[in-house]
Amino acid sequence: MRIVLVGPPGAGKGTQAAYLAKNLAIPHISTGDLFRANISQGTELGKRAKAYMDAGDLVPDEITIGMAKDRMEQPDAENGFLLDGFPRNVSQAEALDVMLKAEGMKLDAVLDLEVEEDEVVKRIAGRRLCRNEDKHVFHVAYAPPKTEGVCDICGGELYQRGDDSEETVRRRLEVYHTQTEPIIDYYKAQGLLVTISALGKVDDVTRRAMEALKK
Ligand code: AMP
């Protein structure tokens, strides 16, 4: 299965992607995670991406598309993948279509996680990530770790993403509305869009998503 997850920052894309990818036995490919890994490894790509990310802006397509393509060409993604955070604008969506078509492949579904703006801000403000593994995600109120500041899964230190500050979140939401939301219509026109509510418990949202994808 080849699936794209869309939704505003704080909709729980990363959390849902981790569960869905496990259930569907396909790799979870997050361009945000790839950028953060490049930044912590001090790569040239990471250095180029950092200022855009810190400002809450999109990293330019010429950096992002190549990085996403390289990852999708890895052997583990041969039979499917779950894209989280890519595409984030119409030109990335078109580039993805071209990439897949060249390989005789196509997307199976685009899962849109819907959540209202107030909830998004609350979710992001309390979000904490593990320094060892970006996919270990907690929330001070909604999914607190057993010990404050410590990852339940691996014992790593929890931290708040630099771009999760209120000011940057507002910018990221604006970027979402102006640049990312148009891909919803793009995929609706292709008959690929499946919209579910991202409200409620993590397990309930995963169940809802799996049911929607089966259809
Ligand atoms: P995320 O972890 O998906 O919230 O992404 C964090 C940040 O990485 C975003 O605010 C962007 O600055 C950058 N980013 C991630 N994916 C993309 C993409 N597909 N296109 C451009 N920038 C991206």
Confidence of residue 201 (pLDDT cuts 50, 70, 90): confident
Can you give 79-107 as a three-state secondary structure string? CCEEEECCCCCHHHHHHHHHHHHHCCCCC
In angstroms, the CA 85 to CA 33 distance is 9
Q: Which residues, judged by CB distance below 6 Å to any ligand atom, belong to the binding site of ligand 1?
A: 9, 31-32, 35, 52-53, 56-59, 64, 85-86, 88, 92, 163, 172
Higher pLDDT, 89 or 134: 89
Go through the domains of the chain in sequence order and give each one's CATH number. Answer: 2-214 (3.40.50.300)
Round the average pLDDT of the chain to a whole number and report it.
94
**What's the whole-number mean pLDDT along residues 69-80?**
95
Sheet holding 127-130, edge to edge: 137-139, 127-130, 158-159
Q: Provide the sign of the torsion angle of the four alpha carbons 81, 82, 85, 87, taken in this order.
A: positive
Q: Give me the active site residues, please.
A: 13, 88, 127, 161, 172
Confidence of residue 200 (pLDDT cuts 50, 70, 90): confident
| pTM: predicted TM-score of the whole model, two decimal places | 0.90
Q: Which residue lies with its CA nearest to atom 14 of ligand 1?
A: 32
- Rounded to the nearest angstrom, the distance between the alpha carbon of 167 and the centre of ligand 1 is 16
